[in-house]
A and B are shown apart, each in its own frame.
Chain A
C-alpha cells in the first residue's frame, strides 16, 4: 500500500456516503428501537491501479437505526482487511460537503455557536483601514 492514493480514497468515501444516504432513505430498517447503537454495517470495496497490480480498499460503515453513520473503518482487502496507520487516521476523518441551512429555517434552537463577536472599537476602525486600501 505504498501508493495509497488519497484522491481515490476521497472518491471512495464519497461513494460510500452516497450509498449510506440511499440506504437511509430507501432501505429503512424495520426495527424502531430507541437505542441509538450500531444496528447494521454496510461496506464497499474501492479498487485502484498501482504499478505492480491492483489495490483494494474496503470502507465499512456502521449505521444506527436512523441510518446515520456512527462508525467508519478503512481496511486493506489484500492484506486480510487490516488497516495501517494511515488508514486508521483516514477513518477518523470523514470528508463531507456541508451545504448549510438558513438559521431562520431552524426550529427549537436555544443558541447559535459562532466565532467571536468583535468589539465596537475593532469594527469602528475598519472603515479607516478600508480607506487606505
Chain B
C-alpha cells in the first residue's frame, strides 16, 4: 500500500491516534499543531498528571473553586451524563480508579482502603465548581471524543475537508474526496478479530467502548461509584452521532443507564446505538443505520 493510506500516527492521552486525509498527506505544520494541542490537552485534563486541572482538587477542602472555561464545559457535559444515569456516570470516581490500581504508576493493584472511598459531591454553577471534599476527576468517559472534534477543527482551519480522525478506535470522519462515506467496521466487544457490523460515516462521529481492553484482575475501567465494583451488566457499547464528543458521551451514559433511559440518552446526543448486554443479546436503537452481522 502507498504511504498516504497509513495516515499520520502518533500516541497521545494514553492511546494510539491516526489522522487519515483522503488522497493526501498531512502537512508538517498541521501535524505539529495537532501534537501540540494533544499535549496541552493531556497536561491540562489528565488525572495521571499531578499538575493538571483534573487533579488539582485532590486535596481541596470543601468549597467553591473557579474553573477554566474549557474544563467547565467538559464538566457541564459530565453533569448531563450524571443526570441521565441517575448519578452513576460520574467523573469524580478518579480517586476510586486510583485505589483500584488504575493509577499514574499503573500499579494495577487494588488498595486496602478502597472500601473507604466516598464519592465526592460536586456541582457546577457556570464556571464555578463546588465540592464537598477533595476530588480527582476522570474525564476518560468522554474527553477523548471532545479531543477528536478539536483535532477535526484544526484540520478544517488548515484547509482539510476529506479526513478521518481515529483516537484509539473512536472516530470522526467527514467524507472521502468523491463525497462517499468512510466505511468503518465495529469491533465485537472482547473479540478483536470479529466485527459486529459496519457503519458508513459521513460527517459523523463513532464511539466504541468495552470492558475488556482496560481490564486488570477483577477490575476494569468502568466502575460503579457507589457499589465500588466494575460494571458487568453491559459488555460494550457503540454509538454514532453528529460528532465524536456526542457519540462518546452517549456510549458513556449507555454503560450506566437503565434500559428505559436508552432513548433519552440517544435523544440527548442525537445518537443511534448498540448496547451489547452480558447475556449475549444486543439492544439496537430504532434509528441505527448500518449493517449488523446477525
Q: B-contacting residues of A (Cβ < 8 Å)? A: 71-72, 86, 89, 91-104, 106, 108-119, 121-122, 124-126, 128-129, 132-133
Point out the residues of chain B lying under 8 angstroms from A133, CB to CB.
217
Bound-state CA distance A116–B148 (Å) is 13
Bound-state CA distance A71–B187 (Å) is 25
B106 touches A113 (CB 8 A): no
B15 touches A115 (CB 8 A): no
Bound-state CA distance A71–B284 (Å) is 12
A115 touches B236 (CB 8 A): yes
Point out the residues of chain A lying under 8 angstroms from B263, CB to CB.
89, 92-93
Q: Which B residue's beta carbon lies closest to that of A72?
A: B286
Known: A91-B286, A92-B263, A96-B284. A113 touches B15 (CB 8 A): no
B235-246 CB mask vs A (1 if < 8 Å, else 0) is: 010100000000
Known: A97-B294, A102-B193. A116 touches B217 (CB 8 A): no
Point out the residues of chain A lying under 8 angstroms from B184, CB to CB.
109-113
Known: A89-B263, A126-B216, A129-B109. A113 touches B187 (CB 8 A): yes
Tell me, rounded to whole Å, the shortest Cβ–Cβ distance linking B238 to chain A: 7
Which of B50-58, B71-79, B80-88, B163-171 binds A? B163-171
- Residue of A92, A102, A115, A119 near B14 (CB, 8 A) is A119
Tell me, rounded to whole Å, the shortest Cβ–Cβ distance linking B276 to chain A: 8
B198: Cβ under 8 A from any A Cβ: yes
Known: A93-B286, A96-B294. A118 touches B216 (CB 8 A): no
B182 touches A111 (CB 8 A): yes
B137: Cβ under 8 A from any A Cβ: no
- Residue of B185, B214, B266 near A116 (CB, 8 A) is B214
B280: Cβ under 8 A from any A Cβ: yes
Q: Which of the listed residues B20, B182, B286 has the most CB atoms from chain A within 10 Å of its own CB?
A: B286
B16: Cβ under 8 A from any A Cβ: yes
B108 touches A125 (CB 8 A): yes
Q: Which B residue's beta carbon lies closest to that of A86?
A: B260
B21: Cβ under 8 A from any A Cβ: no
Tell me, rounded to whole Å, the shortest Cβ–Cβ distance linking B294 to chain A: 5
Point out the residues of chain A lying under 8 angstroms from B47, CB to CB.
none
Q: Which A residue's beta carbon lies closest to that of B273?
A: A93
B15 touches A100 (CB 8 A): no
B209 touches A115 (CB 8 A): yes
Point out the residues of chain A lying under 8 angstroms from B107, CB to CB.
125
B265-281 CB mask vs A (1 if < 8 Å, else 0) is: 01000000010100011
A113 touches B206 (CB 8 A): yes
Q: Which A residue's beta carbon lies closest to that of B199?
A: A113
Point out the residues of chain B lying under 8 angstroms from A110, CB to CB.
20, 164, 182-184
Point out the residues of chain A lying under 8 angstroms from B274, CB to CB.
98
B208: Cβ under 8 A from any A Cβ: yes
Tell me, rounded to whole Å, the shortest Cβ–Cβ distance linking B83 to chain A: 18
Tell me, rounded to whole Å, the shortest Cβ–Cβ distance linking B84 to chain A: 15
Q: Which A residue's beta carbon lies closest to that of B140?
A: A116
Point out the residues of chain A lying under 8 angstroms from B191, CB to CB.
100
B106 touches A98 (CB 8 A): no
B44: Cβ under 8 A from any A Cβ: no
Known: A102-B194, A117-B16. A112 touches B286 (CB 8 A): no
Point out the residues of chain B lying under 8 angstroms from A126, CB to CB.
108, 216
Point out the residues of chain B lying under 8 angstroms from A113, CB to CB.
169-171, 184-187, 199, 206-208, 238
Bound-state CA distance A98–B276 (Å) is 9
- Residue of A98, A112, A121, A129 near B216 (CB, 8 A) is A129
Q: Which of the listed residues A97, A103, A104, A108 has the most CB atoms from chain B within 10 Å of its own CB?
A: A103
Q: List 14 A-B contacts (CB under 8 A).
A: A89-B260, A92-B262, A95-B283, A95-B284, A98-B188, A98-B276, A109-B185, A112-B186, A113-B208, A114-B187, A116-B144, A117-B15, A117-B168, A121-B106
Tell me, rounded to whole Å, the shortest Cβ–Cβ distance linking B154 to chain A: 19
